[in-house]
Amino acid sequence: MTKDEHKNWEQLFSQLPINVSETDRHKESLKRELLEKLDARPTGSPQVSSNPTRPKQTIGQTLMKYKIPHFTGLAASLICIAFFLQLSTPALAIDEILKKIVSAETAKYKMQFESAGGTQEIEVLQYDGAVREKFGDQISIRDLKRKKVLVLNEKLRTASLATIKTDADLSKSSSNPFESFRSLLESEQPSNPKMLGEQEFDGKSLSGFQVQISDMTLTIWADPKTQTPVRIEYPLPGYDTSVLITGYEPNIDIDPSLFSLEVPDGYELRQTEVDAGELPTEDDLLRTLKLYSDFSGKYPESLGISGLTKTMQSYIQERMKDGQPDLQELQSQTVSFSRGFTFTMTLMAENDSQYAGADAKPGDSDTPIFWYKPSSQSKFRVIYADLSIKQADKAPQVKGAQKVGSDL
């Protein structure tokens, strides 16, 4: 494309026969609205004002942002922080601290998922909306603006570059649960703070506070001198999992080349396309349960994130030991896995969903392991241990059944 050709295009577009002059009516009306909005903004609230054009999101809706596959199965960690909803007036000190989370352009932290199934810790770098996560030998770079996910296995020297196939603009989508948390804080304001005093963590004295959000308590520990959040804790009700963010350092210098989607020399590359357009369904959950039981000979202890991701990671590592695993098949399986889990997160309290697979024997046609009542339907859908599905008027009564869903 020469300069002349480029100029020709400019000339062509300059001929566009559209009247672009504005009307005073719209301009003045909008100006009034903006200025009133500035007036209406409460003083003392965090500098993360809510957006009236953006409706409150349900957790299920929020989770739908996380349809992006995580090669390691970390897509199950899609869940977190989505509970920061329906809050009101915050306290000033908290405002300042939360503002630092929301406005951070870069950050470094560790994200830990704890459940009965174990603990998983991921080292995370955030830069310009993209995240780089290190998990064992695996490095995952998710850049949703560019609709790319690059996963490198440092030990096996393999690379998987997935292109997300969707017309949607993913630039506003969150690349990991903490990014989602930041996104939610941008539109919601926490309230009812309770100061916790000072406590020492890793030799450093931090000041803490809690805020109550629905039936969940968020705890943040911050450096009292810099008002910078360092440690953030919150449970995931219904998923026997808690999330812990530690070593949080916002706005640090990060080398942009760490987020390059170029495959390093010496790595074997596999490229795939992932369709992110479809919402997860019951079928996805069936595939997830089958994949899990085929590999481990049983069903998960719970639908907690950590146990599931740990199992999935073991599965992938075992497959990688095969020598030449079919990476596309493997990736397809991990996508199914994450989508099934995400499906359970779309269910609300009204769906009355429960999980009881911990003691079930795969193949047993009499033991219900998961059930829910689809919205607007009167009967329950019951999944049995042989992965058959039957309808029932009432929810099965199974000892030890755990409630699951996004708004518990």
Using CB under 8 A, list all residues that contact other proteins.
Answer: 1, 5-6, 8-13, 15-20, 22-23, 26-27, 30-31, 33-35, 37-39, 41, 47-53, 99, 102-103, 105, 128-129, 145-146, 167-169, 171-172, 186
Nearer to other proteins, 167 or 265 (CB): 167
**Using CA of residue 212, residue 125, residue 278, residue 240, what is the dihedral sign?**
negative
Contacts of 278 (CB under 8 A, 6+ apart): none
Q: Shortest CA distance to 201 belongs to which of 186, 217, 183, 219?
A: 219
Name the minimum Å distance from CB 211 to other proteins: 20
Q: Shortest CA distance to 276 belongs to which of 166, 143, 148?
A: 166
Are 216 and 241 within 8 A, CB to CB? no
Token pair belonging to 270: 């596999």
Name the minimum Å distance from CB 303 to other proteins: 32
Give the integer Cα–Cα distance in Å for 170 and 183: 13
Nearer to other proteins, 186 or 233 (CB): 186
Name the minimum Å distance from CB 23 to other proteins: 8
Name the minimum Å distance from CB 184 to other proteins: 14
Name the minimum Å distance from CB 278 to other proteins: 16
Strand, coil or helix: 149: strand
Give the integer Cα–Cα distance in Å for 286 and 341: 10
Name the minimum Å distance from CB 174 to other proteins: 15
Give the integer Cα–Cα distance in Å for 333 and 327: 10
Nearer to other proteins, 146 or 403 (CB): 146
Name the minimum Å distance from CB 273 to other proteins: 14
Nearer to other proteins, 48 or 308 (CB): 48
Nearer to other proteins, 9 or 201 (CB): 9
Strand, coil or helix: 148: strand
Contacts of 25 (CB under 8 A, 6+ apart): none
Which amino acid type is present at position 180? S
Give the integer Cα–Cα distance in Å for 52 and 191: 18
Nearer to other proteins, 167 or 366 (CB): 167
Give the integer Cα–Cα distance in Å for 387 and 291: 11
Nearer to other proteins, 92 or 195 (CB): 92
Name the minimum Å distance from CB 48 to other proteins: 6
Residue 298 gets which letter from DSSP? S
Nearer to other proteins, 22 or 322 (CB): 22
Taking every pair of Cα atoms in the chain, the longest distance, rounded to a whole number of angstroms, is 76
Side-chain-side CA neighbours of residue 361 (13 Å): 4
